[in-house]
């Protein structure tokens, strides 16, 4: 993945390095115009954005479209392996990909805190632009609001996305059936641990980087290869445990996985052990779980492994039976237990 | 953070060999208590009690620091946190523990300045950075957390901080084992002693218990193979009628313990009769700040005296912490008490027996 965070930011004409966001940047006047023209319009430039109208006018494809929205409030804004801008694009792109859609257009709404550094905002916006290019989407409309100092966390971003569904599959939890195999696209827990390590107050040395990446190219390749995908879910908040429980509840099936099949980086595992966190419940931003029929497992894994984000794809379990919703895990020493939904926020333990 | 030697202690084929060895050794079912909540968590997570259900009845002990912290301490912490001039620093898993009417997490939502720290020394740093406000660290735990808490008090003294204090609820393991063994309801025939507590304190504190009650005690680690090996050592003693203090966790525990940490504890703390949540007062079972450090004692500094704290009467955490009942025998378990709405502390902490049962045990059979 391109390293874009570490390159120095050449300064935009019209903004000084020390400049901060002021209330006027959301006030509708000249100051706001300058921010839009000199930063957002310049970076995100494309034929739909440049009409500078209240709404973007987009060609409507025939067939189905996928539509989704998500808000991003991560702290810290910049972390190893990514930043809020990159998350805001990949997160929404990945939600579209979970329908097997080809992501096309994004909106971007910014809530800026008074006093936020414009230099940081430029970094975030550039990061979004690069992420959008990597995912093949255009940012076609947007909005900026400014809140008083102390009422925000620097910047919050909302993105909504539209994607085109070019296949006839029904990729959703209700398509999951007994006998389906459960695949994951790689090792787990990197994003959650990278964020936790970067948060102030938690001082342990780690080289863990967020796995934040677009999943759409891999998913589109699966669709093109003719894999009969029954369901996909990206393993964000709540990790694998939440994703499997949600699918099991919606599809009313019992899913059983093997703990020994799930791979976790040694460093991620060590940190989870230290803090008493269950790595299966830790967030990822570039991993998915896929439900496919047994006959398609080999082909699916072959396709997934062609992509950097899917290099370590593997089968971890199967849908065992229907009629009741529950997720089971065969533990490392062979005893099966319930894998329950995590409760609330995971809190590190005492000792 | 790269930890070595994790997989080696979770090896399925070695685990099977230990289970077979325990099965061959045991002529009857033995009641063995694991003291520490970390051990309880491993046992329930990996299903060790299920693997050995005919040979060992594992009784879960009181070694969950969150669970044994009195309600009055939680209430005091909440009161302090709601004071606008106070920053309350705490370990993460104290935040959801129910006080009489609320918890720290809800108080945080109401505007209390509650900060999760990973070390008491981080709280000292918060005090340095916020000289105009009072910073209180909720210093709970067993002998494992005590040295770092002692270090925080020492650090604050060296820095001349006047805005830092500790709300202390420190407890000690050996007096708790004594209380369990002297109870008329006791069923425990052997113990797995907590490996990390012994890493700090050494093994000497357990010798008098072995002699007084003629009971085997095996200092044990936390990984599945540690626990299985500890259980085998305990069962072999019970079957041969022996009672001795043994050390399974030799890769961490030395007989004398960590002398530097013990010196620190002796300097900063003194032993006193301490109240345990759900259990009551156990003689000489707690640590409080010694006179030399009493200016860092939040209880004295803020004149905290909570006489109105109340346990939920439906919660049987006391019986669970003493090993008299198992979580699944509580009528509220999973019905009116769950991790989102815990009635008692053992449902909150990752080291609490109720939480471990709720997470790993619920409805596998059903």
Label residues B199-212 b or e (16+ Cβ within 10 Å = b). Answer: bbbbbebbeebbee
* CATH 3.40.50.11740 is held by the domain B67-172+257-301: yes
**Average pLDDT for B275-294:** 94
Chain B residues lying within 8 Å of A333, measured CB to CB = 10-12, 15-16, 46-48, 51, 224
What is the residue extent of each domain of chain A?
Answer: 23-165, 173-338
Model confidence pLDDT, tens digit, residues A229-243: 999 999 999 999 999
Instruction: Tell me if A130 sits within 8 A of A6, measured CB to CB.
Output: no
Contacts of A275 (CB under 8 A, 6+ apart): A196, A348, A349, B118
CB A193 within 8 A of CB A272: yes
Say whether the peptide bond before residue A200 is cis (omega within 30 degrees of 0). no
List where CATH 3.40.50.11750 sits in chain B.
10-63+173-247
Question: Residue B1: pLDDT above 80?
Answer: no
- Taking residues A189-198, report their average pLDDT: 90
User: Min CA distance, B184 vs chain A (Å)?
Assistant: 31
Q: What is the DSSP letter of A117?
A: B
Q: Among candidates B107, B177, B184, which has minimal Cα distance to B138?
A: B107
Is CATH 1.10.3210.10 correct for B10-63+173-247? no
A-chain CB neighbours of B224 within 8 Å are 332-333
In the DSSP assignment, the letter for residue A26 is G
CB contact under 8 A, B47 and A266: no
Strand runs labelled E in A78-192:
78-79, 82-83, 102-113, 138-147, 155-165, 181-184
Q: Which of A124, A121, A128 lies closest to A49, judged by CA?
A: A128
Establish if B106 touches chain A: CB-CB under 8 angstroms: no
- Is residue B156 predicted with pLDDT exceeding 50? yes
Q: Which CATH class is domain A173-338?
A: alpha beta
Q: Which residue of B has its CA nearest to A277?
A: B350
Q: Directed axis angle between helix A216-224 and helix A84-97, to 10°? A: 20
Distance from CA of A281 to the nearest CA of B (A): 12
Q: What is the pLDDT of residue A348?
A: 61
Question: What confidence score (pLDDT) does residue A1 get?
Answer: 44
| Residues 6+ positions from B47 with CB-CB distance below 8 Å | A331, A333, A334, A335, A336, A337, B360
Query: Crossing angle for the helix pair B146-159 and B259-268, nearest 10 degrees?
Result: 60
Instruction: Provide, as residue numbers in chain A, all residues whose Cβ is less than 8 Å from the Cβ of B15.
Output: 333-334
Task: Quote the tokens at residue B134.
Answer: 């009072």
Q: What pLDDT was estimated at residue A242? A: 96
| Inter-axis angle of helices B353-360 and B37-46, nearest 10 | 10
Q: Please indicate whether, in this complex, the C-beta atoms of A349 and B10 are within 8 angstroms of each other.
A: no
User: For chain A, what percent of residues have pLDDT higher than 90?
Assistant: 77
> Residue A346's pLDDT band (boundaries 50, 70, 90)?
low
Name the strand (E) or helix (H) holding B136.
strand B134-141
* pLDDT for the residue numbered A204: 64
Q: Which residue has the higher pLDDT, A277 or B177?
A: B177
d(CA A121, CA A123): 5
Distances (CA, A) of B118 to A23, A199, A204, A274, B167: 37, 12, 10, 10, 16
pLDDT (average), residues A94-104: 97
Q: What is the mean pLDDT of chain B?
A: 92
Report CA torsion sign: B20, B26, B31, B32: negative
Q: What is the pLDDT of residues A154-173, one digit of tens each?
A: 999 999 999 999 999 999 99
Asked if A23-165 and A173-338 have one fold, the answer is: no
pLDDT at A11 over 90: no
Instruction: Say whether B358 and A202 touch across the interface (CB within 8 A).
Output: no
CA distances from A114 to A18, A109, A142, A156 (A): 14, 16, 19, 12
pLDDT, residue B66, reads: 87
How confident is the model over B74-79, as a mean pLDDT? 96
How many CA atoms within 13 Å lie on the side-chain side of B289?
Answer: 24
pLDDT at position A7, please? 52
Per-residue confidence band for A201, with pLDDT thresholds at 50, 70 and 90: low
Strand-pairing partners, residue B210, are: none
Interface of B with A in 148-167 (CB under 8 A): none
The pair of structure tokens assigned to B95 is: 């935040």
pLDDT at A205 exceeding the cut of 70: no
Which residues make beta-bridge pairs with B89? B115, B137
What pLDDT does residue A227 have?
98
Residues 6+ apart with CB under 8 A from B265: B143, B146, B147, B150, B287
Residue B132: CB atoms within 10 A of its CB come to 6
Q: Is the Cβ–Cβ distance between A264 and A211 less than 8 Å? A: no
Backbone dihedral region of A276: left (phi > 0), alpha (psi from -120 to 50 degrees) or beta?
left
Q: Which of B298, B329, B280, B282 is nearest to B57 (CA)?
A: B329
Q: How far apart are CA A92 and CA A135, in angstroms?
A: 10
**Is A9 part of the contact surface with chain B (CB cutoff 8 Å)?**
no
pLDDT class of B9 with cuts at 50, 70, 90 = confident
pLDDT of A299 reads: 98
**A67 phi and psi angles, rounded to 5 deg:** -140, 130
- pLDDT for the residue B323: 84
In B37-98, where do the E strands start and end?
A: 56-63, 86-90
d(CA A31, CA A213): 34
A:229-268 residues touching chain B, CB 8 A cutoff? 260, 266-267
ipTM over the 0.85 cut-off? no
Q: What is the pLDDT of residue A2?
A: 45
pLDDT of residue A64: 95
8 Å CB contact between A128 and A89: yes
CB atoms within 10 A of CB B309: 16
Q: Taking the C-alpha atoms of A19, A23, A27 and A29 in order, what is their torsion angle to the nearest 10 degrees?
A: -40
Q: Which residue in chain B is spatially nearest to A276 when comparing CA positions?
A: B350
Pick the CATH number of A23-165 from 3.20.20.70, 3.50.30.50, 3.30.1330.10, 3.30.2040.10: 3.30.1330.10
Which residues on neighbouring strands pair with residue A336, listed in sequence order?
A330
Strands (E), B290-342: none
Least confident of A187-191, A267-271, B119-123, B125-129: A267-271
Give the residue-averaged pLDDT of B143-149.
Answer: 96
Q: Give residue-wise pLDDT tens across range B206-253.
A: 999 999 999 999 999 999 999 999 999 999 999 999 999 999 999 999
For residues A28 and B339, what is the distance between their CA atoms, to the nearest angstrom? 47
**CATH 3.40.50.11740-classified regions of chain B:** 67-172+257-301
Query: Please, what is the Cα angle at A74 between A73 and A75, to 5 degrees?
Result: 120
**CB contact at 8 A, A140 and A46:** yes
Q: Do B364 and A347 touch (CB under 8 A)?
A: no
The two three-digit tokens of residue A297, written as one number: 């497992």
User: Phi and psi dihedrals of A219, rounded to 5?
Assistant: -65, -45
- Residues of B within 8 A of A273 (CB-CB) are 3, 6
Residue A3: is its pLDDT beyond 50?
A: no
CB-CB: which of B50, B91, B359 is closest to A350?
B91
Task: Quickly state the pLDDT bin for B47 (edges 50, 70, 90).
Answer: very high
Task: Name the percent of chain B lying above pLDDT 90.
Answer: 76
Residue B7 has pLDDT above 80, yes or no: no
Which chain B residues contact residue A331 at CB under 8 A? 45-47
- Give the pLDDT mean for A66-72: 97
A10 pLDDT above the threshold of 70: no
Comparing CB atoms, the residue among B6, B50, B351 nearest residue A269 is B6
What's the rounded mean pLDDT across residues A48-52? 82
Quote the pLDDT of residue A105: 97
- The answer, for A325 touching chain B at a CB cutoff of 8 Å, is no
């Amino acid at each position: 993945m391109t390293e874009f965070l570490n390159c120095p930011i050449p300064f935009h004409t019209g903004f000084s390095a020390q400049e901060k966001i002021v209330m006027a940047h959301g006030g509708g006047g000249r100051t706001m115009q300058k921010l839009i023209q000199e930063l957002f319009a310049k970076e995100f430039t494309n034929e739909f954005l440049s009409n500078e109208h209240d709404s973007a006018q987009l060609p409507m494809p025939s067939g189905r479209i996928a539509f989704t929205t998500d808000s991003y409030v991560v702290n810290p804004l910049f972390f190893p392996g990514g930043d809020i801008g990159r998350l805001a694009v990949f997160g929404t792109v990945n939600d579209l990909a979970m329908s097997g859609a080809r992501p096309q257009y994004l909106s971007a709404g910014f809530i800026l805190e008074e006093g936020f550094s414009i230099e940081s905002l430029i970094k975030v916006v550039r990061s979004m632009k690069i992420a959008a290019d990597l995912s093949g989407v255009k940012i076609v409309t947007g909005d900026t609001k400014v809140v008083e100092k102390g009422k925000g966390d620097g910047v919050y971003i909302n993105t909504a996305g539209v994607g085109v569904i070019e296949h006839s599959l029904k990729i959703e939890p209700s398509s999951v059936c007994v006998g389906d195999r459960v695949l994951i696209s790689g090792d787990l827990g990197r994003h959650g641990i990278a964020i936790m390590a970067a948060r102030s107050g938690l001082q342990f040395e780690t080289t863990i980087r967020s796995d934040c990446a677009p999943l759409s190219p891999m998913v589109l390749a699966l669709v093109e290869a003719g894999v009969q995908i029954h369901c996909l879910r990206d393993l964000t908040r709540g990790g694998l445990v939440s994703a499997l429980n949600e699918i099991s509840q919606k599809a009313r099936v019992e899913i059983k996985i093997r703990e020994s099949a799930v791979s976790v980086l040694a460093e991620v595992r060590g940190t989870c052990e230290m803090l008493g966190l269950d790595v299966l419940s830790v967030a990822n931003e570039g991993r998915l779980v896929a439900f496919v029929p047994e006959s398609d497992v080999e082909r699916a894994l072959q396709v997934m492994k062609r992509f950097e984000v899917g290099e370590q794809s593997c089968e971890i379990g199967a849908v065992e039976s229907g009629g009741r919703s529950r997720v089971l895990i065969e533990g490392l020493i062979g005893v099966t237990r319930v894998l329950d939904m995590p409760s609330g926020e995971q809190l590190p333990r005492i000792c | 953070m790269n930890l070595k030697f994790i997989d080696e202690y979770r090896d399925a084929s070695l685990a099977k060999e230990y289970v077979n060895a325990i099965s061959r050794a045991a002529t009857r079912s033995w009641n063995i208590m694991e003291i520490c909540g970390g051990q309880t968590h491993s046992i329930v997570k990996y299903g060790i009690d299920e693997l050995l259900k005919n040979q060992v009845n594992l009784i879960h002990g009181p070694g969950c620091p969150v669970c044994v912290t009195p309600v009055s301490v939680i209430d005091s912490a909440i009161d302090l946190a709601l004071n606008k001039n106070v920053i309350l620093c705490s370990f993460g898993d104290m935040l959801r523990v129910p006080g009489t009417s609320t918890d720290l997490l809800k108080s945080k939502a109401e505007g209390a300045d509650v900060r999760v720290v990973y070390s008491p020394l981080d709280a000292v740093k918060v005090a340095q950075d916020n000289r105009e406000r009072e910073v209180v660290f909720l210093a709970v735990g067993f002998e494992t957390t005590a040295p770092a808490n002692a270090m925080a008090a020492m650090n604050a003294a060296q820095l001349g901080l006047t805005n830092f204090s500790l709300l202390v609820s420190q407890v000690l393991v050996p007096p708790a084992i004594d209380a369990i063994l002297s109870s008329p309801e006791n069923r425990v025939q052997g113990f797995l002693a907590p490996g990390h507590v012994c890493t700090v304190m050494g093994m000497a504190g357990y010798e008098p218990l072995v002699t007084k009650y003629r009971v085997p005690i095996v200092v044990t680690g936390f990984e599945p193979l540690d626990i299985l090996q500890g259980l085998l050592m305990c069962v072999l003693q019970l079957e041969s009628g022996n009672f001795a203090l043994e050390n399974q966790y030799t890769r961490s525990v030395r007989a004398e313990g960590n002398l530097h940490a013990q010196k620190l504890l002796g300097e900063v703390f003194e032993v006193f009769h301490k109240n345990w949540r759900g259990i009551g007062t156990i003689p000489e079972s707690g640590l409080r700040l010694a006179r030399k450090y009493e200016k860092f004692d939040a209880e004295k500094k803020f004149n905290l005296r909570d006489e109105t704290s109340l346990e939920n009467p439906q919660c049987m955490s006391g019986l669970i912490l003493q090993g008299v009942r198992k979580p699944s025998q509580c009528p509220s378990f999973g019905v009116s008490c769950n991790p989102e709405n815990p009635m008692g502390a053992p449902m909150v902490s990752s080291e609490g027996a109720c939480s471990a049962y709720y997470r790993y045990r619920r409805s596998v059979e059903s």
